[in-house]
Amino acid sequence: MQLLMGKIRQLSLGVKIPMVIFITICLLLGSSFYLLIQRQYRIDLQSKIDDIKHSSALIQQSTRYSMLQGDMDAVEEIIMNTAEITTIQAVSLLSADFDVVTSSDPHLSKKLLKNEYLQEVKSNHKQTIDQSAFRNGIITCYNPILLDEDCMDCHDDSPVGDLYGVLTTSISTSDILKRHSTNTWVLSSAAWVLVFLSTGLLYLVTKIIVVNPLKNMAASADIIAGGNLEEEIKITSEDETGQLGNSLQIMVKNIKEQVDILDKVPTPVLTIDKNYNVEFMNPAGAAIGGLTQEQCVGKKCYDIFKTDHCNTDKCAVRQAMREDAIVTENALANPNPSTFIPIQYTGAPLKNEKGEIIGALEYIADISDIDAMMKETDHVVETVAKVMRAAANKDLTQQIAEEFTENFAELKKNVNKTLQVLDVAMGQVGSAVEQVSSASNQIASGSQSLAEGTNEQSSTLEEVSSSLEEMSSMTQQNAQNAAQATVLSGEAST
């Protein structure tokens, strides 16, 4: 039974509906014609029972007169003459003890007569019909012969109403059976014709009203499932199939709204199955590969982006499906020989209603600008570091000569200005040091002249005093220069 039900579930709607219609019509027409045949059968049977009652009554009336006259030969002649009536099979006259007095067909009568019916007639003195042999073509009527006032002349020793004998009449029912068989065949043939005509007509009507609209909607649903959301769903009625079509249209509209959101995302978004076949790709993703969205569907994702992670364990999408996790990686895409795009991409597993992983969602970000900025930053840092290393080696004449982008132009200007200020300050400090050195030499020379003689002491002291004043002035100047250098160094460091 389960195997049969499984086979039935696999059948298309175009087969199931005619099957249901056929079975239903067979049951309805079969039941109707069976009841009709049985009704006609009962009518024919009742008609035959009425016939045998009437025939039996006529025979009994015909034999009654002869019995009253005591002419049993006449009674026997009447009974024997009934054999010429084609519908009558046998007529028998039985005594009260159920012995056969006379019969038109003794052999058949002996075969047909049944003791239980005779006993029933004897006990209730009423007519009884034996229908048990009806389907064999015969029914038998048991008619009691009772004594009445007219019989007292010959049977004064028996009370009125006592059972004198039993008259049995058997008639053929073959005409009914034949008619019943003919009716059954005719009605069965008509039933089958009606079944096929009704099934065909109902199938055509059902096909036009139900099957064709459902097939059209199923075909549209398959096209929509394939990714074509522009497929038109044809609605030809306002019944349940029309409502189903309207619901399908609303569902497609909602899906389109969701897809439109993904289509408007400026970076690539795609979904793949477990074999890396693209099931959906937004316009941004298709543009990277130089393809349309329709051309992307069915292609392998690694044939479109061609990153250095494709077909390796580094692939974030492969990791996402394998580990049931969201994975992000950086890679270099090479969609065509002349294009290399630094990307950061994220893979997330997709699951069905059973929680089984059936594919992945991939989101790709073009990080070319970030990558270029990082490279530029690295270059700027290296250039500034080179100049600062020269400054650390007391070479303040080095300057940043190359042009930087707008982002780093101000940094270049400030570094060069700081180095210039430091160079000037260090020059002033060197000049001050030289002046201090010269003053020290003069002091030493004055001290030597003082040691040479006391005569020159007075003039020497005056010169020393003058030199000391000059040295004091120079010292103050050096202090100011040093302070200025300190300020400039502070500015440069900020």
Q: What is the pLDDT of residue 319?
A: 95
Is there a contact between 269 and 284 (Cβ–Cβ < 8 Å)? Answer: yes
Nearest to 204 by CA among 417, 18, 411, 416: 18
Judge residue 411's burial from the number of C-beta atoms within 10 Å of its C-beta, 0-12 exposed, 13-18 middle, 19 or more buried. middle
DSSP 135: G
Task: Write out the two tokens for 362.
Answer: 């991939």
Provide the residue type at 431 as one letter: S
Show the CA angle centred on residue 215, arms to residues 210 and 217, nearest 5°.
Answer: 95
Beta bridge partners of 307: 333
Is there a contact between 296 and 289 (Cβ–Cβ < 8 Å)? Answer: yes
Sign of the CA dihedral 387, 389, 391, 394? negative
Strands 339-351 and 327-336: antiparallel
The set of residues, in sequence order, having a beta carbon less than 8 Å from that of 33 and lying 6+ positions away, is: 187, 188, 190, 191
Is there a contact between 41 and 131 (Cβ–Cβ < 8 Å)? Answer: no
Determine the Cα–Cα distance for residues 66 and 3; give it in Å rounded to an integer: 77
The set of residues, in sequence order, having a beta carbon less than 8 Å from that of 221 and lying 6+ positions away, is: 248
The set of residues, in sequence order, having a beta carbon less than 8 Å from that of 462 and lying 6+ positions away, is: none
Residue 291 has φ and ψ, to the nearest 5°, of -125, 170
Is there a contact between 183 and 38 (Cβ–Cβ < 8 Å)? Answer: no
Is there a contact between 146 and 164 (Cβ–Cβ < 8 Å)? Answer: yes
- The backbone region for 352, taken as left when phi is positive above 0, alpha when psi lies in -120 to 50, beta otherwise, is beta
Q: E-assigned strands of 133-185?
A: 138-146, 163-172
Determine the Cα–Cα distance for residues 383 and 125; give it in Å rounded to an integer: 140
Spans in the chain with pLDDT lower than 70: 1-16, 134, 149-158, 226-227, 229, 396, 401, 406-407, 423, 426-427, 429-430, 432-433, 435-437, 439-494
Expressed in angstroms, the distance from the first to the final Cα of the chain is 91
